[in-house]
A and B are shown apart, each in its own frame.
Chain A
C-alpha cells in the first residue's frame, strides 16, 4: 500500500509533529506511515481521511484489483 499522506500533509503546511498532535499519535507513527513502513489501523486511516476531508483511498493507494471471473 502506498501512502500519499506526506503530500497531503505538506499541502496543508503541517509538520509531522503537528499532524501527530492533531491525531493523538506519535511523530514516529506519522513518519512510518509516510515512508510506507507501517500501514495504519482502520480507525487511524479514517481519522486521517476525516482530518484532511478526503476519502481513505485518496490517502492510501492499493494496487490490488479483484480477479475477473
Chain B
C-alpha cells in the first residue's frame, strides 16, 4: 500500500497509541481487579512501607510497559526518521522494558510477602530473587549494546541514585538513631534503592536531552 508522506507523523502516532493502549489497558485492568479482590481481605491491610513499595514497583512496571510499547510497534512504523530510530533502538527498548518490569515485579512481590501476608516467605523470596536476577541479566545485556552516551547516562544515573540514597536514607537513619522518627524497614531500603535508581535514570536522560531527541519532528 502506498504511503502518503504527509500522513506519516499522524499514522506513526496512531500506531504508537494503539500499541500503548493494547499493552496498558489490559495490564492495568488486571491490576485494578487484583487490587479489588485483595482489598476485600481487610485483615491484610498493607503497611505504609508496603504501600510505597507497590507504588514504586508499579511506576517501574508502567515505564517498562511504555518502553515495551515503543519497542513492539517499531516494525509497524514507516520509513520516517522516527520509525528508523525506533527500529534501531528496538532491542535496547525491549531489554530495558524487561529489566524494569522484572525489577518492579520483584519489589511488588516482596511487598506482598511475609508470614501473615498474601505470599509465603519461601515463594516470595525465591520469586523476587529470580526476578531481580533476570532484571540484572537483561540490564547487563542492554549495557553491552549501548553507545557512549547511553553508557554515560547509566553512570550518571548510578551516581545520582547513590547520592540521593545517601542523603535521603542517611538522613532518615540519623533521625531514627536519635529516636526522632521510626527506623526505616528493610523494605523501605529496597524501595529507596529502586525508587532512586528509577528516578535518577529519568533525570540523567532528561539532563542530556534524550527525551527532546525522541520527540517526533516535522521532518
Question: Footprint of B on A, CB under 8 Å?
Answer: 15-17, 24-29, 31-32, 35, 37-38, 40-41, 44
- Given A28-B149, A28-B214: A38 and B208 interface contact (C-beta under 8 Å): yes
Report whether A32 and B147 are in contact in the complex, using a CB–CB cutoff of 8 Å: no
Does B1 sit within 8 A of A, measured CB to CB?
Answer: no
List 8 extra interface pairs beyond A29-B149, A37-B208, CB under 8 A.
A16-B213, A17-B85, A24-B147, A26-B147, A28-B209, A28-B210, A29-B147, A38-B149
Closest to A17 in B: B81
Per CB-CB distance, the 5 closest pairs between chain A and chain B, nearest first, are A31-B213, A29-B149, A25-B147, A37-B209, A28-B213
* A32 and B150 form a contact (CB under 8 A): no
Q: Is the CB of A27 within 8 A of B207?
A: no
The number of inter-chain residue pairs (CB within 8 angstroms) is 51
Chain A's closest residue to B84 (CB) is: A17
Given A17-B84, A27-B85, A32-B213, decide whether A37 and B207 contact each other with a Cβ distance below 8 A: yes
Select which of B88, B148, B219 is within 8 A of A41 by beta carbon: B148
Which residues of chain B (168-219) have a CB below 8 Å from chain A? 207-210, 212-214, 219
Per the bound structure, the CA–CA distance linking A37 and B153 in Å amounts to: 11
Chain B residue contacts of A37, Cβ below 8 A:
207-209
Give B152's nearest chain A residue, CB to CB: A38
- B132–chain A nearest beta-carbon distance, Å: 27
Contacts of A31 in B (CB 8 A): 209, 212-213
In whole Å, how far is A35's beta carbon from the nearest beta carbon of chain B? 5
| A35 x B85 contact (CB < 8 A) | no
In the assembled complex, how far is the CB of residue B172 from the closest CB belonging to chain A, in whole angstroms?
A: 33
Complex Cα distance A37/B211, Å?
12
Q: How far is the CA of A44 from the CA of B207 in the complex (A)?
A: 20
In the complex, residue of chain A having the shortest beta-carbon distance to the beta carbon of B206: A37
- Whether a CB of chain A sits under 8 angstroms from the CB of B5 is no
Choose one: B84, B212, B214, B219; the contact of A35 (CB below 8 Å): B212
**What is the bound-complex CA distance between A26 and B152, given in angstroms?**
13
Cα of A40 to Cα of B149 in the assembled complex, Å: 8
B143 to chain A, nearest CB (A): 14
Q: How far is the CA of A44 from the CA of B147 in the complex (A)?
A: 11
Q: Compute how far the CA of A32 lies from the CA of B152 in the bound complex, rounded to whole angstroms.
A: 12
**In the complex, chain A residues whose CB is within 8 Å of the CB of B150:** 26, 28-29
**Do the beta carbons of B147 and A35 come within 8 Å of each other?**
no
B residues near A27, Cβ cutoff 8 Å: 81, 85, 88, 213
Chain A residues with CB under 8 A of B89 = 26
Whether A32 touches B208, Cβ cut-off 8 Å, given contacts A25-B147, A25-B149, is yes
